[in-house]
Structure 1
Amino acid sequence: MITTLFKNIVKDNVVKIVLTIFIVLLFFRQPNLRDIDVNTILILFNLMLIIEIVKETNILNYFSALIINHVSNSRQITAWLVLLSFVGSMIVTNDVAIITLVPLYILIAKQYQLKIAYPVSLITIAANLGSAVTPIGNPQNVFLVEYYRIGFIQFISQSVQLLLIGIVIMMILVILNPKKSIISESIEPINIKRRDVIWVSGLFILVLLSQFKVISILVPLILVIWKSAKVNVQMIKKIDYSLLVTFVFFFLIVGMIGRMPIVSEAIYHLIKTPQSTFLTSIGISQIISNVPCAVLIAKFYSHFSAIYWGVSIGGLGTLVASLANLLAFKQVSIYAKDEKSSFIKIFTGLNIVLLIFLIIIKIILI
């Protein structure tokens, strides 16, 4: 098992890239293990294992089937899947929402000859915006809440504004999706156990409580491992350990870069005010993605709100602005190869427009 996991980690392209960067930086700076935020890694591990439990117990499939059985046109399909992506990403993270819903939509789209690029773009945008609303919706939120010791009320006071804006944006984008009548074939109902739903809900709550230091991280860690072993012990090896390894290297790399005088001076120059920090976070996210950007900027600035808004909005824009964007493109490449070019054009165009719009909204109105 360990050998297989090691091989999977080594094969991961992102791990190869960060490992290469890490090795190059060794010639300039020594790594410091204290740069690794262990609590963030453990919280991510808990969430990933809970997500495996969710998939194993058919909870997401249950809701997906429920939606498909209650639609009559393409716009309704898009609307429901966008809604599920927006709300689901708040709980099971944007990555899981995309991995689950994009292939599902493509399967339906092929069955009824529906457009793929635009709806998949909406599902991805919904996942990015929705995940920004909760402290466990995406890795950067997990890190920022842990790093700045943000309280739940303080976090929600920021995210609720993005929630309202996100709802309006997604409603408009869904309405712009062409409507095509379909005659859907009823999907056989999927059975789920009430106790599984209760268990999963309870585990999410415990992880949330541990994130805000109400309880020790060891409490959900022990219970999550125990529950996953009870449901299916094979789930433990299904976790994307390459993502956890990537985060370990992110922390080390950012720490090493941050201690380089030329980098420190440049960043300090760029983040003198909340507004400049906000814009800098967006800009850096477009190049290295919003997760490592959050880790990097947080080392130099104490204003949570500016960085939170910057990396949340910064997930829009380029394909690399968010790891979730790359995951969506990967799903399209696998399940609808002929749509790759169209997806890149439509996705990038939509994201750039939304990015500019949200920057203006944030600077002028919020």
Structure 2
Amino acid sequence: MGEGAVTASLLIFLFTYTFIAVRNIPGVPLDMPAGALVGAVLMVATGVLSLQEAYIAIDWNTLLLLLGMMLVVAYLAMGGLFHWIASCLARRSLSPFRLLVWVVLLSGFLSAIFVNDTICLLFTPILLPLLRSLRLNPIPYLIALATASNIGGQMSIMGNPQNMFIGNHSEISFARFFLLLSPITLIGLALNVAVIAWIYRKELASPASPVEIGPNDLLPETDRPLLIKSLAVVAGMLVLFFAEQPYPLVAIGGAAVLFLIGNRKPELAFRKVDWTLLVFFASLFVVMRGLERSGWVRLVLEGSAPLLQGSPAQVVAVLSGVTLVLSNLVSNVPAVVLLEPFVEALPNPDLGWLTLAMSSTLAGNLTLVGSVANLIVVSLARPEVEISFWEYFKVGAILTLLTIGVGVGVLILEARFL
């Protein structure tokens, strides 16, 4: 590669990550997916990569896995699973604190199976009318939904897009990944409840004032046959995941089965797919391959190698710190893609991958813009509820430091088994 192409690749990378980090630059109508796509096109247009090399750079396994899970979740939503869960909460006489516990547990554990971004997308519009009917301050519960979905998502390869990427690039089995990160999730969810309950202790001390919910206010009719079929398909997929069948094939295969037996037009499920997220991922892979071809990644690897060649405790602590900072500069998904070569070069890549999964996901709780899940909750709630940056940060900062501290400690203890 010529010197001009090397320089071009670095400039394009900086251009792309400016839009990822800043997200909305005044006067420039480019968001994260659009900025990444422009960067990918420039990598080809300037000769850094050929068009064929750009095609090869795209990680189709991760995209197929994400697409399959989105389609399966769409069928669960059409079957009424998430509204049924909300109806169960609405019919129970819950104190504000107990409702908080349920929101954290449900969003946390469902995110481990169905992708945290999707859980936030589906639950936010369901949770709002429930809170309105109980005349409760929605802010602590919405923050709990976002933060718990991030914490729960780190437990499973299916939990979030960056974990899907890690699952496809590491040799860690689905069961081992789940087993080693579950303790961090369980402790993290308990800390989530404790931190929010302490910060909003006055709001949670007031008893709820329920208002009768009409049949059409919150709970549309559940399609029981479709829901049973969808849950059966999910159960089969989980068995295949634990049996170490190819993740992308299982996910897209589950979606294909639902196309055949779901008795709903597949186009209804396709409408619920977040196509911009898929475009963002594909573009990001091309940009990173262009940067890798330039040699800049190799130079950075050689310079930082001494920091990541120490004891397991040092590796976990240093990599977690780097990931925490990087995830809040450029978001957690790009941070994982960016750090992949560093993890592959470690003496114990499995420990590095688990550290990256833990720290990149939990780092998303630090600020309002730290993860896509946070942004989804805020944007869907905005017509009714305004969550400011500082309102979120007073929970997120404490929670992130506590949970990453727990994560580092647990992984250091588990390092002897890796």
The answer for the alignment partner of 1:8 in structure 2 is none
Distance in 1, Cα, partners of 2:185 & 2:40: 36
Q: Residue type of the partner of 1:84?
A: L
Tell whether 2:278 aligns with 1:244.
Answer: yes
Q: Which runs of structure 2 are paired with 1:243-322 in the superposition (5 Å)?
A: 243-270=277-304, 272-273=307-308, 274=315, 275-302=317-344, 303=349, 304-322=353-371
Offset from partner CA, 1:183-239 (integer Å, 9 cap, x none): 342565754526633433424642773697425844653452342363232224312
Tell whether 2:264 aligns with 1:231.
Answer: yes
The answer for the alignment partner of 1:128 in structure 2 is 150
Asked if the contact 1:103/1:335 (under 8 Å) is kept, the reply is no
Distance in 2, Cα, partners of 1:157 & 1:107: 36
Q: Which moved more, 1:110-119 or 1:220-229?
A: 220-229
The answer for the alignment partner of 1:325 in structure 2 is 374
TM-score, length-normalised on structure 2?
0.75
Asked if the contact 1:285/1:293 (under 8 Å) is kept, the reply is yes
Distance in 1, Cα, partners of 2:368 & 2:114: 21
Q: Which moved more, 1:22-31 or 1:48-57?
A: 22-31
Distance 1:297 1:81, change over 3 A: same
Distance in 2, Cα, partners of 1:201 & 1:283: 41
Distance 1:323 1:267, change over 3 A: farther
Unpaired runs of 5+ residues, structure 2, are: 1-28, 309-314, 413-418
The answer for the alignment partner of 1:5 in structure 2 is none
SS at match of 1:183: coil
Distance in 2, Cα, partners of 1:201 & 1:140: 26
Q: Which runs of structure 2 are paired with 1:1-366 in the superposition (5 Å)?
A: 13-26=31-44, 27=46, 29-30=48-49, 32-173=54-195, 175-176=197-198, 177=200, 178-181=204-207, 182-185=209-212, 188=215, 190-193=221-224, 196-203=227-234, 205-206=236-237, 209=240, 213-214=244-245, 217-218=248-249, 220-228=251-259, 230-238=263-271, 239-270=273-304, 272-273=307-308, 274=315, 275-302=317-344, 303=349, 304-336=353-385, 339-341=386-388, 344-364=389-409, 366=412
Distance in 1, Cα, partners of 2:320 & 2:243: 24
TM-score, length-normalised on structure 1?
0.85
Aligned length: 352
SS at match of 1:300: helix
Distance 1:243 1:93, change over 3 A: same
Distance in 1, Cα, partners of 2:369 & 2:301: 21
Could you tell me how far 1:71 is from its partner in structure 2? 2.5
Unpaired runs of 5+ residues, structure 1, are: 1-10
Could you tell me how far 1:28 is from its partner in structure 2? 7.1
What do you get for the CA RMSD once the two structures are aligned? 2.8
* Percent of aligned pairs sharing the same letter: 19
Distance 1:268 1:107, change over 3 A: farther
Q: Which moved more, 1:293-302 or 1:224-233?
A: 224-233
Distance 1:220 1:23, change over 3 A: closer
Could you tell me how far 1:24 is from its partner in structure 2? 4.3
Q: Residue type of the partner of 1:20?
A: V
